[in-house]
Amino acid sequence: MINLPLGYARKIAGAMLLSERNGAIGADVGYDTFSLRTSRAMWSIAGAKITNTGKTADVASTQGHHIIEPLGFDVREAALGKKEEGGMIVHESTLAAFIKNPKAPHNHSEKLIPLQLFPEPYAHAAKRPGGPTGFNEPHAWGMTIDMNACVGCSACMVACQAENNVPIVGKDQVIETRSMHWLRIDRYYKSSGETFEEKLSDPTPQITYQPMMCVNCENAPCEQVCPVAATVHDAEGLNTMVYNRCIGTRYCANNCPYKVRRFNYLDFQSRIPGEFKKPWLGIPDTQQEESVDKIKSLVFNPEVTVRMRGIMEKCTYCVQRIKNVTNHRRIEWLDGKREKVTVDDFDVITACQSACPAEAIVFGDLNDPESLVSKQQSGARSYQVLQELNNRPRTQHLAKLRNPVKEPGEASQEKAGTHGAPTA
């Protein structure tokens, strides 16, 4: 039996109607399966013949970039010959184990050694016990991502793309693994079996979704290697990207352990997909202005810079939203309408956060002991991905807890806890 998906393909698309140029976004995408679908047999065809045409087609899949089976931990484990349950990157455990020992999800991780490189006055006193010591004036922005709540729906990716003018690169560039999404959903699989081959053939692997975007390291490896100071830290802990200072050495992306930086290899914003590799003979700096379709430019979020070719970009924690809110709050504070200059919890909502149906993404001020993000980061499930590198990321992930029907080696059904995820 062969299943054919319907939809996802178009011969002609909207932008094409507006532009005289061919090859507009969304045109000539996918394969037409409607010719097989008649009104007599809407859902299935019996007796269809399949012949091998001998042709091949490249499949462009952004998900495929991040799929881990069979290349993930199992490969690293097999290479090292030792077992890393859950691994260093994805912290997870069963609910029963978590109830017995709240540190269970982090059992296999390296120790966190929070070294402060610089003494006073560079390190500031924490504004609350256990809060960030540095880059905390007046806010200390932070985020948590709950891997327990994430269902991998990708709404956050779409929201981020719409908010931040993230370019659409087209099929050929996706095949070259140059998709520009600032936020990606990493999928880590865990399969049972002793040997590597057994693991590969496990029909029901377990999956963990780990949304990953710039984690705004306090001790950011990208900042130290940029020769032109195009990525620098601000006072509130944002790892800012100065687009018009960037010359595109790409060293930052190499040194980023999370690989969340995205480079504009071609003029993705102003050209039509499929035409990216046509030379531009004008003055480079005016390329965007002259080649962006005037109607297409109406699609852009006016509050976010549209990046040109040759520069690096990455998640900004939606800095435009942060600045909008903090500026208004500061004005209110100056006018005496407000007691504190800092924002309230949930005043600033990032695009990904607003789109998440499971409320897996929480953003806020880590200086505020009452903010949800502070509470979550003090919880037992919270951890820093790759914390052993001492990058001190401001985004922390919340470990995944599983509540399997049967524990391996246990006869009775596990009934610890209630249905659903416990709060940290």
Partner 1 sequence: MATIYSNPSTTIFREVDNTIEAPGQRAPLVVGGRNFTSVTDVVTDVNLKPAPLGWYIGFACAVTMLGVYLTSVAYLLTTGVGVWGNNNSVDWAFDIINFVFWVGIGHAGTLISAILYLFRQNWRTGINRFAEAMTIFAVVCAGLYPALHIGRVWCAYWLFPIPNQMAMWPQTRSPLWWDVFAVSTYATVSMLFWYVGMLPDLATLRDRTKSRVAQVAYSVVSLGWTGSCRHWHRFERAYLLLAALATPLVLSVHSIVSFDFATSQVPGWHTTLFPPYFVAGAIFGGFAMVLVLAIPAREWFGMKDIITIRHIDNCAKVMLGTGMIVSYSYAMELFIAWYGGNHYEQAEFLFRAKDGPYAFSFWCLIFCNAVVPQLLWFKKFRLNPWPLFLIANIGNIGMWWERFVIIVQSLNRTFLPSAWRLYWPSYVDLAMFAGSFGLFFTLFLLFCRFLPIVAMAEVKSIMPEAHAHHKEPHKQTADQAAGDFRPDEHHKPVRH
Interatomic CA distance for residues 204 and 64, integer angstroms: 18
Closest CA to 252 of 218, 222, 224: 222
Nearest distance in Å: CB 80, partner 1: 6
Would you say 178 or 375 has its CB closer to partner 1? 178
Would you say 223 or 347 has its CB closer to partner 1? 223
Nearest distance in Å: CB 334, partner 1: 28
Cis peptide before 227 (omega within 30 of 0): no
User: Cβ contacts of residue 353 below 8 Å, gap of 6+?
Assistant: 156, 361, 362, 363
DSSP class per residue in 182-203: SSEEEEEEE---SSHHHHHT-S
Which amino acid makes up residue 389?
A: L
Where on the chain is the footprint of partner 1 (CB under 8 A)? 65-66, 68, 71-73, 75-76, 78-80, 84, 88-89, 173, 176-179, 184, 186-188, 210, 212, 221, 224-229, 245-251, 253-255, 257-259, 261-267, 276-281, 284-285, 308-312, 385-386, 389
The gap from C-alpha 222 to its chain's centroid, in whole angstroms, comes to 17
Nearest distance in Å: CB 78, partner 1: 7
CA distances from 130 to 127, 252, 424 (A): 8, 30, 17
Would you say 62 or 324 has its CB closer to partner 1? 62
Would you say 159 or 385 has its CB closer to partner 1? 385
Which amino acid makes up residue 217?
A: C
User: Cβ contacts of residue 79 below 8 Å, gap of 6+?
Assistant: none
Would you say 257 or 417 has its CB closer to partner 1? 257
Would you say 83 or 323 has its CB closer to partner 1? 83
What element of type H or E holds 76? Answer: helix 73-80
Nearest distance in Å: CB 398, partner 1: 18
Closest CA to 214 of 350, 324, 376, 71: 350
Nearest distance in Å: CB 280, partner 1: 5
Which amino acid makes up residue 158?
A: V
Nearest distance in Å: CB 104, partner 1: 20
